[in-house]
Homo-oligomer: A and B are copies of this chain.
Amino acid sequence: MQLSGTPVSADDLARSHPADAIETLNSIGIEAATAAIATLKPEAAAAIFNHPGLDRPASLIARLAPERAAEILLRLHTDRRVDIVRHLAPSSRRTLCALLPQHVTADLNRLLNYLPHQAGGIMTTEFVSLPAETTVAAAIQHIRQVGSGKETVYAIYLIEPESGALTGVVSLRELLMADPLSLLGRIALGRKPIAIKPDAPSEDAARLISKYDLLAVPVVDDQNRIIGIVTVDDVIDTMIEANTEDLQKLGGSEALDQPYMSMSFGAMLRKRAGWLSVLFLSEMLTASAMQTYQSELEKAVVLTLFIPLIMSSGGNSGSQATSLIIRALALNEIKLSDWWRILEREIRAGIVLGAILGVIGLIRISVWQQFHIFDYGPHWQLIAATVAAALVGIVTFGSVAGAMLPFALKRLGFDPASASAPFVATLVDVTGLVIYFTIAYAILKGTLL
C-alpha cells in the first residue's frame, strides 16, 4: 500500500494488472489518483474504470479534463458507463454527455431510468444475438468479427428477426462442440430460455444465474425482446454489496455504501447516529415503564438486580430469530405465507429455550443463597421463581417478535433485512420489563410487594 500523496509512476500503473493498479489507486488520495490516471492511455484507463473494484470512479472522472473523461467513458462497458454517470453531479453529467456521440447518450439516458438495484440497472446492452437459422460456422465467424466489442460472448441469444423476441440461448461451449453446419435453432430446440424483466430486483438475477448455472441472464421487455444481459461478474459484485448491506443493517446502522476507511468521518457518523438516536428514543420507553413500577422497585430493590439479565436474554433470543428468518426469506427457503408455521415453531422454541435459561437462573440464585455469596432475603425462593418464569415469558416473546418482524416488514413492502438486532432488542426490552413486573406482582404479592 502506498502512503496518501506519494506520486504513483505512470509506468508502474500501466504495467500492472488492472485489478492491482486499482488497489494502488484506491490506497492513495483522490488528487494523486486523478493525476496518475491522466497519464494513462484511454484504453488503459478504461480497463481500470471497467472494473467495479475501483473506489470513487465518478469523482475521478469528474476531476479529469472533460475531453479525456469522455474518451474513457466511450470505451467503457455500457453497464459501467451507466453506473459512473449515475453518480456524477448534474453539471458534470451535462458537460460529459455533450461530448459523447448521440447514440451513446440516448442509450445512456434509457438505462439511467432503471435503478441500480434493478436488473435493468446493472445490465449491459452489449451481447451477441443472431437468428435461429444461422449455422454454427456463421455464428463463430460473427463472434470473431464483433466479439472484441462485446462484454461477454459466452452465450449467443437467438431472436426472431421480425419481432426481435428471444427464442433460445446457445452457449459458446455448445457452439464449439456442434457440427459447423447445424443451425443454432436446432441446438437450442426444446429449451425455454431463462430471462428476467428489467425492473426485477438485481438479487433475482443473481438467484437465476446461481440456480440455472448460467454465465449471464438475458433481460427482456414486455414483448419478450432482449434489451440487455446481466453477467455473472456483475452478479458477484451485486451479491457482495447486498451482503454488506444486510450485515450492516443487522448490526443496526444504515448501509454505508462505501468502504469503512475511505468514508469521511462526518458521513460515517450520519449513517450511524440516525439509527442510534431512533433506538435511543424508543428505548426511553423503558424508563417510562420503570417509572410506572417505581413503588414496586422501592419495596423490592432486589428485583432490579435481575433487570439487565432478563432484558438481555429477550434481546438475544430475538436477534437470533431475526437473523435466521431474514436469511431464510432472502434465500427463498420460506415464503410470506409460511408465517403461521414459523410462529408456531418459534413459540415452541422460545418456551424450551426460556425454560433452559430459567433453570440456569434458578440454580444460580439457589447456589448464591445457599453458599451465602449473596442474600436475596427471606423470600429468595419466590424471587428465583419470578426470575425463572419471567425468562420463559420473555425469551418466548423475544423469539416470536424477532421472527415475525422480518415478515411484517416484507408484508409492508420494506426490505426484511432492515430488521436489525438492536431494533429487535429495543422492541423486546419494553415488553420484557412489563412481563417481568407483571409476573413479579403475581408471585410476590402479599410478601415483598
Residues of chain A whose beta carbon lies under 8 Å from any beta carbon of chain B: 17, 19, 51, 53, 140, 143-144, 147-148, 153-154, 172-173, 176-177, 191-192, 206, 209-213, 215, 232-233, 235-237, 239-240, 243-244, 246-248, 250-253, 256, 259-262, 265, 268-269, 272-273, 275-277, 279-281, 283-284, 286-287, 290-291, 294, 297-298, 301, 304-309, 311-313, 315-317, 319-328, 331, 333-334, 338, 341, 345, 348-349, 352-353, 356-357, 360-361, 364, 374, 395, 420-422, 425-426, 429, 433
Q: Report the minimum CB–CB distance from A153 to chain B (whole Å).
A: 5
Indicate if the CB atoms of A309 and B286 lie closer than 8 Å.
yes
List the B side residues contacting A243 at CB < 8 Å.
239, 243, 246-247
Q: Which of B51, B290, B364 contacts A304 (CB 8 A)?
A: B290
Indicate if the CB atoms of B213 and A374 lie closer than 8 Å.
no
Residue of B whose beta carbon sits closest to that of A282:
B312
List the B side residues contacting A259 at CB < 8 Å.
328, 331, 333
With A261-B341, A287-B309, A301-B297 already in contact, the answer to whether A319 and B236 are too (CB < 8 A) is no
Copies of chain A in the complex: 2
With A236-B236, A260-B333 already in contact, the answer to whether A253 and B308 are too (CB < 8 A) is no
Indicate if the CB atoms of B290 and A421 lie closer than 8 Å.
no
Residue of B whose beta carbon sits closest to that of A254:
B320
Give the distance in Å from the alpha carbon of A210 to the alpha carbon of B261 in the complex. Answer: 21
Q: Report the minimum CB–CB distance from A235 to chain B (whole Å).
A: 7
With A246-B247, A328-B260 already in contact, the answer to whether A276 and B312 are too (CB < 8 A) is no
